[in-house]
Amino acid sequence: MADNVILRGQELDLTDRYWRAANYLSVGQIYLMDNPLLREPLKPEHIKPRLLGHWGTTPGLNFIYAHLNRIIKHRHVDVLYVCGPGHGGPGMVANTYLEGTYSEIYPEVSEDIAGMRKLFKQFSFPGGIPSHAAPETPGSIHEGGELGYALVHAFGAAFDNPGLVVACVVGDGEAETGPLAAAWHSNKFLNPERDGAVLPILHLNGYKIANPTILSRTRDGDLESLFWGYGYQPIFVEGHEPAEMHRKMAEALDEAFDLIEAFQTDARSKPEYRDVPRWPMIILRSPKGWTGPKEVDGKKVEGFWRAHQVPVANCRRDDSHRKILEDWMRSYEPEDLFDGDGRLKAELRALAPQGDKRMGAVPYGNGGRLRTELILPKLSEHAVEVGERGSLQVQSTEVLGRYLRDVLKLNAGGSNFRIFGPDETESNRLGSVFEETNRVWLQKIEEYDVHLARDGRVMEVLSEHLCQGWLEGYLLTGRHGFFSCYEAFIHIVDSMFNQHAKWLKVSRELAWRKPISSLNYLLTSHVWRQDHNGFSHQDPGFVDLVANKKADIVRIYLPPDANTLLWVGDHCLRTFNRVNVIIAGKQPESQYLSMEEAIRHCEAGLGVWEWASFEDDTVSPDVVMACAGDVPTMETLAAVMLLHEAIPALKIRTVNVVDLLALQDPDRHPHGLDNQTFDEIFTTDRPVIFAYHGYPSLIHRLTYRRTNHENIHVRGFVEEGTTTTPFDMTVINQLDRYHLALEAIERVPGLAAKVPDVTEKLKDKLAEHTAFITESGEDMAEITGWRWRRV
């Protein structure tokens, strides 16, 4: 345990000056485009034409930053600063500038007057930097836009990083969100032996945009009780007088870091069972807009919501406003902080840590620097022997589960791979992973519990928000992961996916941000096999959202069987800076492709299945039967058989799509198939009956620029669902083999008139099905027992 040195005298004074420097630079960024050091009186033209940014939270963020610097220097620890109130972007930028990291990354923003002028002007300025902490911000893994995810990101960063302390600032606004409220329970998943620590700092500054916050007005005692109940020991730092607050904060941080060290030392030296450590947290209560104007135009500002954004607004036109601004900035005494060249004075520079210990430079904040490739098993070791096509029934995700088990085994030493899911790993048939590892569980374990352990690598909690957030934090700090989820409920994290995709889009444009591993989703228990859970569990719309994102960020895979799923899973674990969505069922299903065929098919993204086609090489087929997704593939193959048996002369081509975005034209998506090949496969004029896993519109959207798109007729989920049988799910959405075959007959010119008997027979089959299941509760045997055979 480090010797705690009480903050007093010179150190207190220096810390306060450092804080003032950060505050000065923060205000400067919000307001000024010139005259950065106030070497002359403020004039209208020094003020930016549009004043943007959030002052309210910023002095608190700066206060914390200064004190964390002190802790890092005293204790030689690695600290990552996760800034929940990321809209306090000026503070994060100011501090990384003060410690030198900003200018190292962006040399044009140099440590002198010219650089400071650039620093100020670029903030929230066209062509400049965002107003929030963002990928552009050194040391940040957390965008300050949509609130709720600071704490899950922090825990994600701490897992498997035993030497790291993540200091996570949670604003009292953000603390009202659902994901944040659940995230406090992450302490039950943090292993003091193997993981780093998270130090939450709940920053109560009292107000949101226009309202008090719930926690800041929570009655005495309840606040402490709440966080004690969450399992923490809260340390309070409350006040507004700077010197007193510096002393309190230094003491609080010393106490917190002592506790962290004690828990870790204890756990790492004595491995016997203990309950979850009662980790420290800090509750910092300080005024909103602390050190800013007390009043403007006779209205309360400091300590009130009016300090939230720009506390004094009209500085260009209103002399009295400009005077308030100038007085405010001069109150920090810039001449006491910066030397004649505009550089932070040496005695203050000495307060910041050095090199990679600086929070703007800590490698965890640019996780790609730490990332190493996974060691991956050979696909051949997990390949399914298909035998006669369609004769073998296999749970594809179970095969992937064995592959993932081996990924865990091969990378056990690296401690850089985890599997995430909302209590569904076993349900999603990935249970083989429990041969190699367990679920993480730090609370009490009963003797009859199974697959629970303190050092498990499978993270399960009934919150998609926590799974997603932990995984994001884990990836952003340079590791790898895999998230399996019921397809319908992945919508719970739509907005988190959205924000992560935005982070990736911007990160890819920054050379200094090293690539991180892709975020890999396995969506299973999907719409077609939630017949037992009913309508609420039936929704394939997540990919529609995914397809809105920039093409180089996203991939959508629909492997139809186990070997294709294996290839896709393996491929996704090799990629970086992407979001990969894999959709595959967990129920027993027919197997079609050998591993070699699967590799060829997946690499192409889509292709003709010649073994399932009935055509000759000399002419175009009469109809193309296309499919994407495991259930649509099964129904399409059955439809092809029905058609071929009933109308042997019909020339049928069967096309399967694995990599959905290959359908898009190549100038829209890097995986887009070139137009010539596309036209060869889908023809330029023949009807295409496309059976698709999700909402049909996506296929139209992806293919609308293709030559033959007028003839592409898509069937998919049309929002009809209930508790029924698997086959009936396809019938009520008209995606079943009979509807597919009927549509083919209807679309091939002249065919319907020639084979009215076939049409009638298919319609009879549909009626027979409905009567049969309503009575028996089962699908007809010939349907569930269908298997592919070449005639």
| Site for a second copy, residues 299 to 358, rule: CB under 8 A | 300, 304
Is-contact 470 195, C-beta < 8 A? no
Which residue, 306 or 601, is less far from a second copy as judged by CB? 306
Distance CA 500, CA 514 (A): 16
User: Binder to a second copy among 9, 107, 126, 355 (CB under 8 A)?
Assistant: 126
What's the closest the beta carbon of residue 132 comes to a second copy, in angstroms? Answer: 6
User: Binder to a second copy among 594, 723, 734, 759 (CB under 8 A)?
Assistant: 723
What's the closest the beta carbon of residue 442 comes to a second copy, in angstroms? Answer: 9
Distance CA 624, CA 633 (A): 13
DSSP type of residue 138: T
Binding residue count for a second copy, defined by CB under 8 A: 120
The b/e string for 427-464 (b: 16+ C-beta within 10 A; e otherwise) is ebbbbbbbebbbbbbbeeeeeeeebbbbebbbbbbebb
Residues 52-81 binding a second copy (CB under 8 A) are: 52
Structure tokens at 698: 């996506």
Structure tokens at 312: 């004094």
Helix (H/G/I), strand (E/B), else coil: 594: coil
What's the closest the beta carbon of residue 182 comes to a second copy, in angstroms? Answer: 4
Measured at the CA of 656, the angle between CA 569 and CA 579, to 5 degrees, comes to 35
Q: What's the 3-state SS for 558-578?
A: CCCCHHHHHHHHHHHHHCECC
In single-letter form, the type of residue at position 388 comes to E
Which residue, 111 or 143, is less far from a second copy as judged by CB? 143
Residues 249-308 binding a second copy (CB under 8 A) are: 275-276, 300, 304
Is-contact 64 201, C-beta < 8 A? yes
Helix (H/G/I), strand (E/B), else coil: 738: helix
180 binds a second copy (CB under 8 A): yes
Residues 181-240 binding a second copy (CB under 8 A) are: 181-185, 188, 208-214, 217-219, 222-231
What's the closest the beta carbon of residue 698 comes to a second copy, in angstroms? Answer: 8
What's the closest the beta carbon of residue 122 comes to a second copy, in angstroms? Answer: 10
Contacts of 760 (CB under 8 A, 6+ apart): none
What's the closest the beta carbon of residue 385 comes to a second copy, in angstroms? Answer: 29
Which residue, 60 or 231, is less far from a second copy as judged by CB? 231
Residues 78-117 binding a second copy (CB under 8 A) are: 87
Which range binds a second copy by CB under 8 A, 327-335, 633-641, 693-701, 743-751? 693-701
Structure tokens at 625: 């039967």
Helix (H/G/I), strand (E/B), else coil: 205: coil
User: Binder to a second copy among 9, 107, 127, 355 (CB under 8 A)?
Assistant: 127
578 binds a second copy (CB under 8 A): no
E strand or H helix at 782 = helix 781-784
For residue 729, the cross-strand partners are: none
Residues 9-48 binding a second copy (CB under 8 A) are: 33, 48
What's the closest the beta carbon of residue 720 comes to a second copy, in angstroms? Answer: 9
Q: 505: how many CB neighbours lie within 10 A of its CB?
A: 15
667 binds a second copy (CB under 8 A): no
Residues 480-539 binding a second copy (CB under 8 A) are: 488-489, 491-492, 494-495, 498-499, 502, 505-506, 532-537, 539
What's the closest the beta carbon of residue 770 comes to a second copy, in angstroms? Answer: 8
Taking residues 136 to 175 in sequence order and writing x for each that binds a second copy by CB under 8 A, - otherwise, the string is -------xxxxxx------------------------xx-
User: Binder to a second copy among 130, 277, 390, 607 (CB under 8 A)?
Assistant: 130
Which range binds a second copy by CB under 8 A, 178-186, 239-247, 596-604, 685-693? 178-186
Helix (H/G/I), strand (E/B), else coil: 208: coil
448 binds a second copy (CB under 8 A): yes
In single-letter form, the type of residue at position 350 comes to A
Distance CA 16, CA 67 (A): 10
What's the closest the beta carbon of residue 255 comes to a second copy, in angstroms? Answer: 20
User: Binder to a second copy among 695, 738, 786, 788 (CB under 8 A)?
Assistant: 695
Residues 743-782 binding a second copy (CB under 8 A) are: 773-774, 776-778
Measured at the CA of 533, the angle between CA 530 and CA 539, to 5 degrees, comes to 50
Is-contact 714 629, C-beta < 8 A? no
